[in-house]
Amino acid sequence: MTSTISSNKQAGEIRAVFGWSLKKRLGLMGLFTGLNFMAMPLILFLALNNAKTNRDLLPANGYTIDLNNVFAACVRLVFPLLVLPLSLLLVIILSVLLYGYMHQKRSVDLFHSLPVRRGPLLGGRFLAGVVMLAVPLAISFLVSVLLCLYFGLEAAQYLPYLGKAFAWILFISVVCFLFSTLMAVCSGTTFDMVISIVVISVTYPLLIVLARMVAGMLLPGLMVKNLLGSVVTTALSPFAAAFIYFVPGEAGIEFGSFGPAFVVWWVFLAAVMAVTAVVLYRKRKSECAESNFAFPLPKIFIRFIATGAAGFACALVFFSTLNSDASFWVGLLAGSFAAHIIAEAVYGRGFKGLKRSFGYYGVFLAAFAVYYGILATGAFGFDTRIPTASRVTSVEINISDIVFSSSGYNGNFQNTEFTVWSKDHKEKIARVQRELKNPASVQKAVSYHKELVSAIRGAGYPYRVSPFSSSGVTFTYHLQDGTSVDRSYPYRTVRELADDKTQEKLNGLMESLQTDKEFRSTGDPIFYLTPDFVKSVTLIPENGGEGTTIVPDRAKIQELIEALREDTLNAKPSTDPGEQKGGGISIQLDLKPAVPAEGTPLREEIGGYSGEVSLNNIYYYQLNADRFFPKAKKFIEDNGWIKFNS
Amino acid sequence: MIEVKSLLKKFGSAVALNEISFTIGGGSVFGLVGSNGAGKSTLLRTLSGVYRADGGQAEIDGETPFENSRVKNRLFFISDYPYFFAQASLDDMADFYAGIYRNWDQKRYLELCSIFPLGRTSKIINMSKGMQRQAALITALSTRPDYLFLDEIFDGLDPVMRQLLKKLLSSEVSERGMTVVIASHNLRELEDLCDHVGLLHKGGILFERELDSLKLGIHRVQAILKPMPSPEAFEGLDVIQSKIQGSLVNLVIRGRRDEILEKLNRLNPVFIEVLPLTLEEVFISEMEVAGYDIDNILK
């Protein structure tokens, strides 16, 4: 009975605060509804209307304009560049307007003496903010859907786009608003609140990205991938995370699709922030208004991440400019120390507490020493942890730079992975990569990997920072227990550190790996191709002029495919970089959608997909170089498709 | 009834209220006086539930006001610088309070608006300091509070408005039994309005007493004594302050008027006059006793 009365009373208090807060800011909501209308439905209307007019004017040319494509191109730009920034701007404005009261002594006197408890006071204002965020977006969404209906777009095309994007923007805006609420509760002034929001939003992702980059530069084998798209990069920065959703990434965080871990994390964090904000607000001392902070933890955290981000940034700038260990350390200390002093001056309104704050700077230095120490000593054996060949089910190898092994094979036969698309090229059906499953092939990979690790460790231990590189060799082992092991090595590591003898040994092992049949055939689309997919063949002359397109019969296409496969398998490594890439006559296999025949490798790769699939066109350069394409060259000459000069 | 028991409030390491205790009966007008920084505003904010006490209790009818909307519905606090929403008019503020306070009385609001010379739709931010206080008073009294806490309410009000305020408060107290606590340095106005006075100094309460007994309990004596007796002659009198210039003696003495006269008459004064102190004089003399170096300050 008591709890019912209490909850009724609480609901009444929330209603009163909510109603007043909303009523007072209806004008602002109207303004943002108008701005949102201009950002999304209006631009969409103009784009679609323009495209429709052009389409109606040009029917005779055979040139068609797909309004669905115009719609997709438009929303891909408008959402991240206009709709989302507008919504986030509204979050900041609402935070200042709705929570500014707790940062002024005069307004605190009024609001905290009202017969409204703090939970409902904060909750009512928060809900008013959520409604003000939702209404402009909801109206934009509805008008956009009506526009799509008017222009006759496919519902399957626009509804998922619009629905997911608007839902995401609303969701992340609410999370950002919760984050701002928490910052408001912890801050003593509105200035500090805004500064805290901005500093965390910028410096936290920066710190994570830079720390991961430095880790990759320090710890051999550590694969630093998906720097922007990972959940960790924006884990504590909803304002940054809001944009990451619209950046295509490797982790499935692509426009219109939800990475589950990404969303789950934000739902969890939103709940934590909501509870924390209410609990802290109930504990917040009214007299903290106009002070530097109400709770010191955010200040300590912000100072730490700002110090760290500036330290890493300066260390990397100094290191990339002067390229010495000392420059890295000087940059780290200079950047972090300056950032610490600036953060203290901003939050402490001067240098009064500077001396006392150096204790926190010491904490940062200690944390960095631990971080560096762990990585430089191999991260508890991470550097030497290579699975034995018997535990490996398969291994994917990606060699992204020819200089790595001084072998020409990789330069001219670059097709080591490809994507299988749906017929219209809009949906990814499968991604086929170079993957070794044969035990002998796996053993070759493991042998090379072990020798590589041994060479790197032998060249200098504990490890030191080396220049960042995203190219080199990457191993992804899939183990029998279902786990996988990723390791990546920049090519410079080996070239710069290993002695000649070790280098020679490594080259030998790499050559053995690269001449492996499975190594050369898996992931290369020519080994998955059947004549059904080939529409025509285009031969492009050496000077890059207009090519000759031939439409051979099925048998000829099969012969050409066989010739190219044979050349791929038999290509000799080259030690002359000049021979390796570009130039010469090129050949392009112009492909068309087809259904992969039963029993073919491509059928296996696409699994249960039953429709037509598309592959990207396949290119080969330097077709006139006998050492790479003797079979293909002979076949083309024999058929009189083109005459080679040499 | 307001009961303050060992109330402690700190701002960091500074003690604003140092375990003070006193009681304010219902239906009274209590004046809070004290030096700057004595803790008057802090006490009002604690009683209004703005501040949470760090120790002890501040209870209104047996309940702590902090985070207690039931108690807060019965009280209203006007701070020394009343806050109004940006661009808000009196009607806007009334609209806000009407949605928050259960006892909001629209009829009373309109009545008060007709008494005070304020435009209901004018922006409060453009009003003078005194007019803003009037606006705050109108909204405060319209909530029909049982407890009204006023911080420096006389500040900025013209003499007519002060009289009006005193009249309104007196009628609310007599008709509804409202309790008023006023913190002010304007002792002259408090003297007219209050029935009880509490003197705060450096976070502690020096005394809390009925105003009449306070005023009747301290007297200023001017006497001409020839010859001037030795200081021992004044023993037996509770002398708070004394000044002797030749044969003229100025004394502030605590005690009953007839007892003081009887003792001084034994010294055969040429002239003697015993006057009750104004509240201001009581304040100054008590503060001096408490160690407030008034002479040094006024130098």
Å from B283 to nearest chain A CA?
Answer: 28
Integer Rg of chain A from CA? 30
CB contact under 8 A, B69 and A20: no
Q: How far is it, in rounded angstroms, from Cα A329 to Cα B172?
A: 74
Which B-chain residues 65-84 have CB contacts (< 8 A) with chain A? 67-73, 75-77, 79, 81-83
Residue A490 in tokens:
């920049």
Confidence of residue A135 (pLDDT cuts 50, 70, 90): very high
Contacts of A117 in chain B (CB under 8 A): 67-69
pLDDT of residue A252: 36
Nearest Cα residue in chain A from B92: A24
Contacts of A112 in chain B (CB under 8 A): 48-50
Going by the DSSP 8-state scheme, the letter that residue A571 receives in this structure is P
Integer Rg of chain B from CA? 22
Chain A interface, mutation test: which of B45, B71, B95, most A Cβ atoms within 10 Å?
B45
ipTM of the complex: 0.87
The pLDDT of A66-95, averaged and rounded, is 91
Task: Return the axis-axis angle of helices A354-376 and A325-348, rounded to nearest 10°.
Answer: 150
CB contact under 8 A, B50 and A113: yes
Are the CB atoms for A233 and A249 separated by under 8 Å? Answer: no
Confidence of residue A137 (pLDDT cuts 50, 70, 90): very high
Q: How far is it, in rounded angstroms, from Cα B297 to Cα B299?
A: 6
Q: What string of H, E and C letters represents the secondary structure of A374-424?
A: HHHCCCCCHHHCCCCHHHEEEEEEEECCHHHCCCCHHHHCCCCEEEEEECC
- Which of B17-26, B41-50, B190-199 has the highest average model confidence (pLDDT)? B41-50
Count Cβ atoms within 10 A of the Cβ of residue A553 and give its class: 0-12 exposed, 13-18 middle, 19 or more buried. exposed
Are the CB atoms for A179 and A301 separated by under 8 Å? Answer: no
Q: What count of residues does chain A have?
A: 646
Of B180, B137, B139, B175, which is closest to residue B32 (Cα–Cα)? B180
The pLDDT of B204-228, averaged and rounded, is 81
How many CB contacts within 8 angstroms connect chain A with chain B? 63
Chain B interface, mutation test: which of A279, A282, A287, most B Cβ atoms within 10 Å?
A287
Q: How far is it, in rounded angstroms, from Cα A10 to Cα A17?
A: 11
CB contact under 8 A, A282 and B52: no
Contacts of B79 in chain A (CB under 8 A): 106, 109-110
Percent with pLDDT over 90 in chain A: 51
Using one digit for the tens of pLDDT, what is the confidence trace for A586-612?
888 899 999 999 889 999 899 888 889
- Amino acid identity of B286? E
Using one digit for the tens of pLDDT, what is the confidence trace for A433-473?
889 999 999 999 999 999 989 988 888 889 988 887 766 78
Model confidence at B288: pLDDT above 80: no
DSSP assignment of A427-490 equals SEEEEEE-EE-SHHHHHHHHHHHHHHHHHHHHH-SS-------S-EEEEEEEETTS-EEEEEEE
CB contact under 8 A, A115 and B72: yes
Of B187, B212, B210, which is closest to residue B279 (Cα–Cα)? B187
Model confidence at B204: pLDDT above 80: yes
DSSP assignment of A197-263 equals HHHHHHHHHHHHHHHHHHHHHHSTB-----TTTSTGGGTT-HHHHHHHTTS--TTS--TT---HHHH
Å from B42 to nearest chain A CA?
Answer: 10
A116 vs B48, B69, B71: nearest CB: B69
Residue A13 in tokens:
């208090």
- Cα B87 to its chain centre, rounded Å, is 32
* Cα separations in angstroms, A617 against A417, A537, A635, B224: 13, 10, 20, 122
- What is the CATH code for B2-202? 3.40.50.300
Å from B50 to nearest chain A CA?
Answer: 5
Using one digit for the tens of pLDDT, what is the confidence trace for A568-592?
888 766 544 444 444 567 888 899 9
Q: How far is it, in rounded angstroms, from Cα A486 to Cα A222?
A: 8
Q: Collect all residues with Cβ–Cβ distance below 8 Å to A537 and sequence separation of at least 6.
A: A549, A550, A551, A552, A557, A560, A587, A588, A589, A590, A641
Model confidence at A1: pLDDT above 50: no
Q: Is B201 on the interface with A (CB under 8 A)?
A: no
Fold of the B214-298 domain: Alpha-Beta Plaits (3.30.70)
Of A135, A146, A127, which is closest to residue A36 (Cα–Cα)? A135
- Identical fold at B2-202 and B214-298? no
Model confidence at A250: pLDDT above 50: no
Of A213, A283, A191, A268, which is closest to residue A236 (Cα–Cα)? A268
Using one digit for the tens of pLDDT, what is the confidence trace for A381-421?
999 999 999 999 999 988 765 433 334 444 455 567 888 99
Q: How far is it, in rounded angstroms, from Cα B19 to Cα B203?
A: 8
Q: Average pLDDT of chain B?
A: 89
Using one digit for the tens of pLDDT, what is the confidence trace for A140-150?
999 999 999 99
Contacts of A287 in chain B (CB under 8 A): 11, 51
Using one digit for the tens of pLDDT, what is the confidence trace for A363-386?
999 999 999 999 999 999 999 999
pLDDT of residue A583: 52
CB contact under 8 A, A104 and B83: yes
Confidence of residue A542 (pLDDT cuts 50, 70, 90): confident
Model confidence at A60: pLDDT above 70: no
Going by the DSSP 8-state scheme, the letter that residue A40 receives in this structure is I
Q: Look at the block and give the residue holding tokens 């020409």.
A: A408
Domain definitions of chain B by residue range: 2-202, 214-298
Nearest Cα residue in chain A from B68: A117
A106 vs B49, B79, B102: nearest CB: B79
A109 vs B50, B70, B96: nearest CB: B50
Nearest Cα residue in chain B from A104: B83
A117 vs B48, B69, B75: nearest CB: B69
Q: Collect all residues with Cβ–Cβ distance below 8 Å to A344 and sequence separation of at least 6.
A: A303, A351, A353, A354, A357
Model confidence at A270: pLDDT above 90: yes
Confidence of residue B131 (pLDDT cuts 50, 70, 90): very high
Confidence of residue B294 (pLDDT cuts 50, 70, 90): low
A19 vs B45, B71, B99: nearest CB: B99
Q: How far is it, in rounded angstroms, from Cα A367 to Cα A336?
A: 13
Residue A40 CA neighbour count, 13 Å, CB half: 33
The better pLDDT of the pair A543, A307 is held by A307
CB contact under 8 A, A106 and B49: no
Q: Is A356 on the interface with B (CB under 8 A)?
A: no
Using one digit for the tens of pLDDT, what is the confidence trace for A196-213?
999 999 999 999 999 999
Model confidence at A225: pLDDT above 80: no
The better pLDDT of the pair A275, A1 is held by A275
Confidence of residue A314 (pLDDT cuts 50, 70, 90): very high
CB contact under 8 A, A109 and B70: no
The pLDDT of A34-43, averaged and rounded, is 93
* Cα separations in angstroms, B67 against A3, A112, A187, A275: 16, 9, 21, 18
Which A-chain residues 90-119 have CB contacts (< 8 A) with chain B? 104, 106-110, 112-118
Are the CB atoms for B98 and B106 separated by under 8 Å? Answer: yes
Which A-chain residues 388-407 have CB contacts (< 8 A) with chain B? none
* Cα separations in angstroms, B265 against A269, A593, B228, B232: 83, 126, 13, 15
Going by the DSSP 8-state scheme, the letter that residue A321 receives in this structure is H
Three-class secondary structure of residue A122 per DSSP: helix
Are the CB atoms for A100 and A107 separated by under 8 Å? Answer: yes
CB contact under 8 A, A285 and B81: no
CB contact under 8 A, A24 and B50: no
CB contact under 8 A, B101 and A115: yes
Residue B236 in tokens:
């037996």
* B179-183 and B147-151 strand pairing: parallel
Å from A295 to nearest chain B CA?
Answer: 13
The better pLDDT of the pair A231, B119 is held by B119
Q: Is B96 on the interface with A (CB under 8 A)?
A: yes
Are the CB atoms for B78 and B153 separated by under 8 Å? Answer: yes
Nearest Cα residue in chain A from B81: A106
Q: How many CB atoms lie within 10 A of CB A611?
A: 11
Model confidence at A56: pLDDT above 90: no
* B29-34 and B179-183 strand pairing: parallel
Q: Collect all residues with Cβ–Cβ distance below 8 Å to B167 and sequence separation of at least 6.
A: none
Of A406, A383, A368, A403, which is closest to residue A459 (Cα–Cα)? A383
Of A233, A201, A186, which is closest to residue A92 (Cα–Cα)? A201
Percent with pLDDT over 70 in chain A: 87
Nearest Cα residue in chain A from B150: A109
Å from B298 to nearest chain A CA?
Answer: 31
Q: Look at the block and give the residue holding tokens 């002398």.
A: B239
Q: Is B154 on the interface with A (CB under 8 A)?
A: no
Contacts of B71 in chain A (CB under 8 A): 115
- Amino acid identity of B102? R
Q: How far is it, in rounded angstroms, from Cα A284 to Cα A99?
A: 13
Q: Average pLDDT of chain A?
A: 86
